[in-house]
């Protein structure tokens, strides 16, 4: 049996260990919890495991374990001492990577593209983990532009995660000169109209865009 590395089960830490973590934090218990969560992310990234809970893609019926195995994942058993995780070896060239939020990590493919999102809250009092599949084609909203323009400009776009990096395939920009704020009614209407157009583009050109296993191997965009 493969000897997989996994994160520490913080829910089973003895009281004295939890006290030591809290006392070791100069900013008190809150900072200690943040440190525990950051350490949990670090341990997951360095592990040979994935969350045991794999979320079913919305609107698509697939056998998620079979899809992982097709990609080259070697799935182990759920750890008896920690049912939150199971052993797992990634396909060649794939790797686990942390994000700028300690509860969120990614599993990247050989091209560095995030293919799986991993949620792991390592806090001992509410420890949880799950993973979900990411889509190759994503409809994005430019919230920063809307905020910077006070709601007068709303931009929606379709972005493909190509082997060379993200590529914008289609975009809609709506100007709302009468907007009174970036979340006012006029701005929301512009957002909804732009969203409909980007969704129509996806439906017409990429009918399987809701399937998180589609289009990743596409070479020409």
The residue to which tokens 């289609």 are assigned = 170
The model's pTM = 0.88
pLDDT (tens digit per residue) in 98-123:
999 999 999 999 999 999 999 999 99
pLDDT tens digits for range 120-154: 999 988 999 999 999 999 999 999 998 898 888 98
* pLDDT, tens digit, 9 for 90 and up, residues 185-207: 888 888 899 999 999 999 999 99
Domain ranges of the chain: 10-133, 137-205
Buried b (16+ CB within 10 A) or exposed e, 158-197: bbbbbeeeeeebbbbebebeebeebeeebbeebbeebeee
Please report, to the nearest 10 degrees, the dihedral formed by the alpha carbons of residues 139, 119, 64, 86 taken in order: 160
């Amino acid at each position: 049996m493969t000897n997989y590395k996994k994160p520490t089960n913080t829910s089973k830490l003895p009281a004295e260990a939890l006290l030591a973590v809290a006392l070791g934090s100069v900013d008190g218990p809150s900072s200690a919890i943040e440190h525990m969560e950051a350490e949990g992310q670090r341990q997951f990234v360095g592990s040979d495991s994935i969350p045991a809970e794999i979320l079913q893609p919305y609107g698509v019926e697939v056998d998620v374990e079979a899809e992982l195995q097709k990609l080259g994942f070697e799935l182990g058993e759920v750890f008896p001492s920690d049912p939150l995780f199971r052993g797992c070896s990634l396909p060649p060239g794939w790797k686990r990577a942390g994000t700028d939020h300690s509860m969120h990590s990614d599993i990247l493919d050989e091209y560095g593209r995030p293919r799986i999102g991993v949620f792991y809250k390592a806090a001992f009092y509410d420890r949880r983990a799950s993973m979900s599949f990411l889509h190759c084609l994503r409809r994005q909203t430019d919230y920063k532009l809307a905020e910077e323009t006070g709601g007068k400009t709303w931009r929606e776009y379709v972005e493909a995660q190509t082997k060379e990096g993200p590529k914008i395939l289609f975009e809609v920009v709506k100007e709302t000169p009468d907007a009174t704020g970036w979340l006012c009614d006029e701005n929301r209407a512009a957002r909804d109209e732009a969203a409909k157009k980007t969704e129509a583009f996806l439906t017409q050109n990429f009918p399987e865009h809701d399937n998180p296993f589609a289009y990743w191997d596409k070479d020409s965009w």
